[in-house]
Amino acid sequence: MTIAVTGATGQLGRLVVDHLLERGVPASRIRALGRSADRLASLASLGVETAVIDFERPETLLRAFEGADELLLVSGSEVGNRIPQHRNAIEAAVAAGVGRIVYTSAPHATDTDLVLAPEHAETERLLAASGLPVTILRNNWYTENYVGQLDTAAATGEVVSSTGDGRVASASRKDYAEAAAVVLTTPGHEGAVYELAGDAAWTFADLADALSALVGRPVVHRSVTPEEHAEILRGAGLDEATVGFVVALDGNIREGALADTDGTLSRLLGRPTTPLADGLAEARDRAAA
């Protein structure tokens, strides 16, 4: 069985490859795909098959996907360009005769106001129309998304958001990567749509407490209105598009779009998900290494 992984030089994709190897998949049966030959070299040194792909060049996808029994389609990182890129990947997978596609989507992609969801919802529609067996992994937020708050918290003693009392059921990237490896290597997942999230949904006050322990000073959550938040972000030099995105995302959190957790992720893993404070500490240590 050959398992192909797109985005294999990215943070999630590389972790998936690592977990596949840990689960005993022979390196020769893993095909790591990414845009940079240089960054793929470290995987090639492990005996993993590698290929350079570009979602904008379908011919590279067709060659890379041929002979793959399983394809993990890690969602593209270029917000706004994902639909045509994913369409190219899905069409290439069909033409190459891929056995199954596993796709990393967004929470409740087809039934949410989450600002990032529309591209994922359309990708899920394209997958459903492809005729291929599909498994959808709807990953909630990554704890690592908040590691940048460590420096701010250390400098200012506060976390500023317009999330109100909204909750985030985040998990560490390694948790989602391990779950993907489980789904790619065990039976019974075809047609499944998994809502994956951390075991505990935390508030930004909880985030402030976790940061406080890590930076060694009191940290509080300063809750502001969306309008106040926008002005703060503009004052920090962010462009209007980024300001709008951040405020919209905080609004999604405030309204509960990232709060759901039903234990599906920990059941796939066979262990609890990584707690918020532990995930932040691990991310900090990796960044410092």
- Model confidence at 6, in pLDDT bands (50, 70, 90)? very high
SS3 assignment for 176-244: HHHHHHHHHHCCCCCCCEEEECCCCCECHHHHHHHHHHHHCCCCEEEECCHHHHHHHHHHCCCCHHHHH
The whole-number pLDDT of residue 288 equals 78
For the stretch 196-241, pLDDT in tens is 999 999 999 999 999 999 999 999 999 999 999 999 999 999 999 9
- C-alpha distances in Å from residue 284, one per residue of 18, 142, 232: 20, 14, 25
- Model confidence at 3, in pLDDT bands (50, 70, 90)? very high
The whole-number pLDDT of residue 227 equals 98
Whole-structure pTM value: 0.96
For the stretch 126-162, pLDDT in tens is 999 999 999 999 999 999 999 999 999 999 999 999 9
Residue 186 identity = T
Say which DSSP state 111 is in: S
The whole-number pLDDT of residue 173 equals 97
Mean pLDDT across the chain, nearest whole number? 96
Which domains are present in the chain?
3-139 (3.40.50.720), 141-171+198-260+274-289 (3.90.25.10)
DSSP per-residue codes, 14-75: HHHHHHHHHTT--GGGEEEEES-HHHHHHHHTTT-EEEE--TT-HHHHHHHHTT-SEEEEPP
